[in-house]
Structure 1
């Protein structure tokens, strides 16, 4: 969408001198806003209500509550038919992956007594139900996997072979978590390297899809698209150790991220989904 002078004048930020489009991901329009005093980062989602960014705002505040670096939500609302979110601007540079590992471990040390986040959020293909659940297996299967697979089926990206392997995976997952207790950890929920920034050498986690869940859910996502080094995992392990069988469990969660990309971007992700399912 085009940010007109009239639209811009309704923002809670005054004396705007610059409002320019920047690279900001696939989901939202992104802008840099400059005033004489300050620089801001703004996301805009056309054809959406003011509540569109509520889940992200809550996630950012919860990450900050864990003592982890993130962006600060300053203003959000709706102008005409577009939702907006204004955050602080970060000048980016490079930093230590070990510091990043320690920050993610710190995030995962914030615990809850239930799984979920007590809300719901909508993306382009499905509604994510984050209502609280006492069971991680029930939450993950019924509030994550089943709606996702239903979307893939509706969009024509599902077949009998995928269904057969998927059912085997779900059975294995359910059996494992019927015997193993999980402590709900605050998870970023979309922890790929594109959602990491470094500013003045310090790591920041941005663009969360936060839930309280199995911390391995986040760790699996770090392995899907790369970017996280051995230093990251060593530093994480020193702060919050994981067992030697972790690698065998990650495909349960890799499937979620890859199937979501299948729903969002089509059959170009089909082979990756099939590769994960082939383990079951």
Structure 2
């Protein structure tokens, strides 16, 4: 493995070596990374993962500076404490030279993608969602991709979903959404309590598309969380958003912790949030899919009293 850290990142090497008490011998760029650059590092202590990014824009005047990886580190700690699925260990995070922020993690060696691991992921996710949570919202605010994510306490899943998920993204979208779009979202707001099954809150990963699921030598693993105490269907829907999650994962989950009737119909509803966020992060290319999901959500039957 050759050292391939770009020149701009190389000033981080002494800092990494200080945290590890080891010399960096090489690195390779990992797949993905719209927000961060990620590298698998080889060191004299073994292998680690480095994530690094330059935050967009300065810290607003009068606001408290928060390292961009602090929310991710907190989310990983919450998932690790819950226990059923593997999570990388956080070694260090903070500000580095050249305006870079960084997160240093343990490396989870990959394992073959097998039916046994698919089933273990489904059961582990069910075990995570079955753990009692104190209420909807109430965790520290964090990030979804590069966007601020609000986690204010709420009295119900519907209130949390509207006030801390959809509304902030709708406000951020500005003129990207037309008057007809906003009228349809206003209609959805009134119906939300009757569309969402009443269940206790759960700790959710919050951004559980297939790229944030790993099959490793330690078992199924979760990375890059956007955690919250929310409705567990958030994670089930996210695994359907871009495909790539094998069917046996869902089969094992539903056997261990059956979702409420019609959960697959509600995938479009829960995925309104990540689709809105994608419009705000990446542009109008996601608008047609957002509108399709919105229309599908408005066609849902009102199964609950709210």
Question: What TM-score results when the alignment is normalised by the length of structure 1?
Answer: 0.90
- Runs of 5+ consecutive residues of structure 2 not aligned to the other structure: 1-5, 57-64, 299-306
SS of corresponding position for 1:191: coil
Look up the match of 1:55. 71
Q: 1:135 aligns with which of 142, 149, 156?
A: 156
Change (3 A) 1:126 1:16: closer
Q: Conserved in 2, the CA contact under 8 Å of 1:111 and 1:212? A: no
Q: Conserved in 2, the CA contact under 8 Å of 1:50 and 1:76? A: no
Provide, for residues 99-145 of structure 1, a one-character-per-residue CA deviation record: whole Å limited to 9, x for no partner: 21111111112221212252122467742111333332222111111
Instruction: Give the RMSD, CA atoms, in angstroms.
Output: 2.1
Q: 1:163 aligns with which of 182, 187, 190?
A: 182
Look up the match of 2:301. none
SS of corresponding position for 2:101: strand
Q: 1:46 deviation in Å? A: 1.4
Change (3 A) 1:3 1:31: farther
Look up the match of 1:265. 282
- Runs of 5+ consecutive residues of structure 1 not aligned to the other structure: none
Look up the match of 1:248. 265
Q: Conserved in 1, the CA contact under 8 Å of 2:93 and 2:102? A: yes
Q: Conserved in 2, the CA contact under 8 Å of 1:125 and 1:263? A: no
SS of corresponding position for 2:243: coil
Report 1:140-159 matches (<5 A).
140-153=161-174, 156-159=175-178
Distance 1:187 1:123 in 2: 13
Look up the match of 2:133. 112
SS of corresponding position for 1:190: coil
SS of corresponding position for 1:278: helix
Aligned residues: 276
Look up the match of 2:123. 102
Report 1:202-217 matches (<5 A).
202-217=219-234
Q: 1:192 deviation in Å? A: 0.6
Distance 2:119 2:218 in 1: 12
Look up the match of 2:45. 37
Question: What TM-score results when the alignment is normalised by the length of structure 2?
Answer: 0.83
Q: Conserved in 1, the CA contact under 8 Å of 2:144 and 2:207? A: no
Q: 1:50 deviation in Å? A: 5.9
Distance 1:20 1:233 in 2: 33
Look up the match of 2:206. 189
